Structure 1
Amino acid sequence: MATDTTADTDVEAGNEPVAVSGGEQLDDLVATHGVVLVDFYADWCGPCKMLEPVVERLAAETDAVVAKVDVDANQQLASAYNVRGVPTLVLFADGTQVEEIVGVKPEGQLRSLVESHT
């Protein structure tokens, strides 16, 4: 399987969420950025749509890099992270998974969680 190696070394915090299309791309993001919040979502998921503006604000307003993984298009990646329901948010700090949140949570709670690791 071909991968895009122009990948996300240019990604900076304070931008829009990054669409992740595979495990290598996600690994690169996690390895090269201090705090990465990964949103595992599905286009058909109502709660995911409710969470989308929150995720976009976190990408724009925090020091975390925010990645989005479509679980339908990336089933193996979702499986690798034991994603059983959407939305699932996985937070990485310094290359290590530190949190997993399933379901919609208030923006303030998610922001505090992200900022506690930056």
Structure 2
Amino acid sequence: MCGSDREDGLRIFPGPVTGRKQVVASSVLLTEPTTPAVWAALDCPGAFAIGMADGDPILLGTMTARIDREIPAGEQLVVMGWATGSEGRKRYCGTALLAEGGQVLARAAHTWVAPAG
């Protein structure tokens, strides 16, 4: 749902957060905040946080998410991602979906894997 090739995608393209190394963020508008849409919104910034935007191929290994609060429909939200480490070909990151006031609405932890070269 968040890929750039999808007409119906969320169109999330996180950029660097000034002064925060390996942290990215983007605004997002969820007109229908279904569980799949929330998970898609949490997925996208994780890939950007661990280097996908640099052209490095990367595959999602696992993602564990939880929705902490009701997600408001049609409100401008912020989704962010941050790298948390790496081990061999594995890359780890966290993501969060935030309300305008900064409250965490949903969060996720990811393991990404770089294909063997």
Query: Structure 2-normalised TM-score?
Result: 0.32
More strand by share: 2
Q: Which has the higher helix share?
A: 1
The structure showing larger relative contact order (alpha-carbon pairs under 8 Å, at least 6 residues apart) is 1
Q: Which has the larger radius of gyration?
A: 2
Q: TM-score, normalised by structure 1?
A: 0.31
